[in-house]
Chains A and B, each alone.
Chain A
Amino acid sequence: MQNSNLTSWGNYPKLKNKVYKFRDLDSLKNLLASNKIFIAYGNGRSYGDSALNEHIIYTKNWNYFLDFDEVNGILHVQSGVLLSEILDIIVPKGWFLKVTPGTKLITVGGAIASDVHGKNHHIEGCFSESVIEFNLMLPNGEIKNCQKNDELFLATAGGMGLTGIILDAKIALKKINSKNINQTTIKTKNLKETFEAFEKYSEMPYSVAWIDCLAKDKNIGRSLLMVGDFANDGDLNYKSKQKINIPFNLPSFLLNNITVKIFNWLYYHKNYKQIKTQKVEIDSFFYPLDSIDNWNRIYGSNGFTQYQFILPKEKSFSGLSEILEKIAESGKGSFLAVLKLYGKQNNNYLSFPIEGYSLALDFKIEDSLFKLLDDLDKIVVKYGGRIYLTKDSRVKKEFFKKGYPKIYKFKEIRSKNKMNDKFESLQSNRLGI
């Protein structure tokens, strides 16, 4: 046990906690047998309060590679292994993750618990789609093997650590023949053009747009859409990039409205041409933010949150227009706004993606923020959308529930297996999950 004050990536909320590690299954079982209530914590790359509580089970040391079948591309690892560690091993052998989020600094347990997705959701779905099976420790210490379509699989993938401790997982990999990606950047003038571009390039395996959130009127929705696919040049000589460190919390005045505007403007104008193609490496294509260590500190010591929602496709245009207008009006919002078109929804009870458009943007924590986000929630719910739990630290119970109709099934499983007596996060308490 270690006294600590672990926070998540958003540095909000802050709290004191007690951190427990385990080195074998018996010690984990004994831990669970105590009368404390726990939540699993991976690498703390979730933005909100889903991995936070008073008693934390820290999984990052549970990180052995158990097997790597280099011929068939099947990897078996313990849950604390980071995706970055996986890439170091598999890329030189011609394999890649079928699904990866925008950071490689997350654990496999975290990837399953949030059922994360990447730029190829419209093709490969969520992370759980690439998971063949995993083992889960239940509150009573029993270990359950969970396979696709098992009730416990459907609840645990996307279940935000509320069903047990994910111990290890078998993952199917994707064959690649290069560490390089041919990337095309398309500049669009407004939301309509952005949507059309997404549809036009929907055959491309990877796509994501950076959207200028502060653009107003006829410019609303102007974006840089980046699409790409792996090259075929046989170059598998992959080395992780060196990082730049931001060693302390920057004063938050640095991140005022003006810097945000300048950043957005620069980003938008650095590409003069309408369409531009270049060859880039895995790290710069998939993980541009990982190259700056602790970039979350630029938001200062109050922390920040990422607001990410998704709207059903047919309502996305009107919904997004309304929301973008509202954000531009508020003058808040970040240089980091990401828009993406998603494919079909999976069967997991709490996985975030549905078929439609999602927008994610960062906000510095300040008193006046919460009212704005509550207002945005109302619009999201009105258009039949939902909020991404792994990014959230503030949504109200009633808005959350409207977005996730299968929450009742999830809660049923939790109480049936006595999971609600053993696993709770600040988030699950707030949302009554």
Chain B
Amino acid sequence: MNYVLIIGAKSDIAKELARIYAMNNFNLILAGREINSLNDLSQDLKIRYKIDVQLVEFNITDFESHESFFNDLIIKPVGIILSAGFMTDQKVCEIDFDKSLNTINVNYVGAVSILNIFANLFEQNKNGFIIGISSVAGDRGRKANYIYGSAKAGFSAYLSGLRNRLYKSNVHVLTVKPGFVYTKMTEHLNLPEKLTAQPDEIAKDIFHAQQINIDVLYSKWLWKYIMLIIKHIPETIFKKLNI
């Protein structure tokens, strides 16, 4: 049976992805910081779905460790899902460069560092899939969230290039752009119910999109149209808006 690697597996969206892939008979390698806290999840997945689950320690901003992380994986996965992300208050980022840097490092630099390695493997194998969880925030920089947004924009552009490169090698790259999702990341925010998805809805959308080779997925779907409008507002007007 094939293995899927999930980076940032402690994320609420990732846990639901783990379930869906397990339900569909994939074994799992779950990677993240202090990963042993996922022991209960791992046990649950084994009991429910009779699959194998491995927990591996991983820090996405510890770039140096990525090569050995890869080499130490005895079984190489057929697909990788990158779900690690970091978002903090924009105002804090503006005065604290370390926070800005971590935002960029987790959402962009770290992602490039680890996906470069797996891209080479999949390219060589002429097989595999890469799912990157980016964000609608990367579609246009807004004053409320542009440090995080610009890091996600970089990540989205990276994934687009990767897709272009790996197309001929039969490697599918899926860019996921969630709108709002009820997770740990947004717990303190008051999100509009109609526009906000539950993690398991996002996970279902992602699994489905991966299975049928979709390139870019907005979830919930109506975010596709919201962002279409937002992207097309002329900059002269956009700069005056409070959105």
Binding site for B on A (CB under 8 A): 1-4, 21, 23-24, 63-68, 85, 88-89
Contact = CB atoms under 8 A, between A and B. Distances in A.
Contacts of B196: 2
B95 to A, nearest CB: 27
24 contacts: A2-B182, A2-B191, A2-B196, A3-B190, A3-B193, A21-B182, A63-B44, A64-B40, A64-B41, A64-B43, A64-B44, A65-B43, A65-B44, A65-B47, A65-B48, A66-B40, A66-B43, A66-B44, A67-B43, A67-B47, A68-B47, A85-B48, A88-B48, A89-B48
A395 B175 CA distance: 54
B191 A89 contact: no
Nearest to B49: A89
B12 interface: yes
Interface in B115-159: none
B72 interface: no
Contacts of B43: 64-67
Interface string B24-66: 0000000000000100110110011000000000000000000
A3 B12 CA distance: 19
Contacts of B37: 24
A24 B36 CA distance: 13
B187 interface: yes
Given A23-B12, A68-B47, A89-B48, A2 B193 contact: yes
A370 to B, nearest CB: 32
B232 interface: no
A80 to B, nearest CB: 11
Nearest to B200: A61
A17 to B, nearest CB: 12
Contacts of A88: 48
A135 to B, nearest CB: 13
Contacts of A68: 47
A4 B193 contact: yes
Nearest to B199: A61
Q: Which A-B residue pairs are the 10 nearest by beta carbons?
A: A64-B44, A65-B47, A65-B44, A64-B40, A68-B47, A65-B48, A2-B182, A89-B48, A3-B193, A66-B43
Contacts of A64: 40-41, 43-44
Interface in B179-220: 182, 184, 187, 190-191, 193, 196
Contacts of A3: 190, 193
Q: For this complex, into which size category does the number of interface residues on chain B fall? A: 10 to 19
Nearest to B42: A64
A1 B183 CA distance: 10
Contacts of A21: 182
A89 B50 CA distance: 10
A3 B191 CA distance: 8
Given A2-B182, A23-B184, 8 more contacts: A2-B196, A3-B190, A23-B12, A63-B44, A65-B47, A66-B44, A68-B47, A88-B48
A64 B45 CA distance: 8
A24 B10 CA distance: 12
A108 to B, nearest CB: 14
B10 to A, nearest CB: 9
A66 B41 CA distance: 9
A66 B187 CA distance: 26
Nearest to A1: B187
Contacts of A85: 48
Nearest to B187: A1
Contacts of B191: 2
A65 B39 CA distance: 11
Nearest to A20: B187
Contacts of B44: 63-66
Nearest to A63: B44
Contacts of B182: 2, 21
A1 B41 CA distance: 23
Contacts of B48: 65, 85, 88-89
Contacts of A66: 40, 43-44
A63 B40 CA distance: 10
A63 B45 CA distance: 11
Q: Which of A2, A68, A88 has the most CB of B within 10 A?
A: A2
A4 B182 CA distance: 13
A3 B190 CA distance: 8
A89 B190 contact: no
Contacts of B184: 23
Nearest to B192: A3
Contacts of A23: 12, 184
A3 B193 CA distance: 7
B50 to A, nearest CB: 10
A89 B48 CA distance: 6
A241 to B, nearest CB: 18
Contacts of A63: 44
A156 to B, nearest CB: 22
A66 B193 CA distance: 32
A1 B213 CA distance: 34
A298 B40 CA distance: 40
B44 to A, nearest CB: 4
A68 B187 CA distance: 33
A66 B191 CA distance: 32
Q: Which of A3, A23, A67, A89 has the most CB of B within 10 A?
A: A23
Nearest to B189: A1
B47 to A, nearest CB: 4
A145 B86 CA distance: 37
A77 to B, nearest CB: 9
Nearest to B40: A64
B191 to A, nearest CB: 7
A223 B78 CA distance: 59
B178 to A, nearest CB: 16
A89 B187 CA distance: 32
A401 B182 CA distance: 41
Q: Which of B40, B41, B47, B190 has the most CB of A within 10 A?
A: B47
A58 B196 CA distance: 17
Nearest to A5: B193
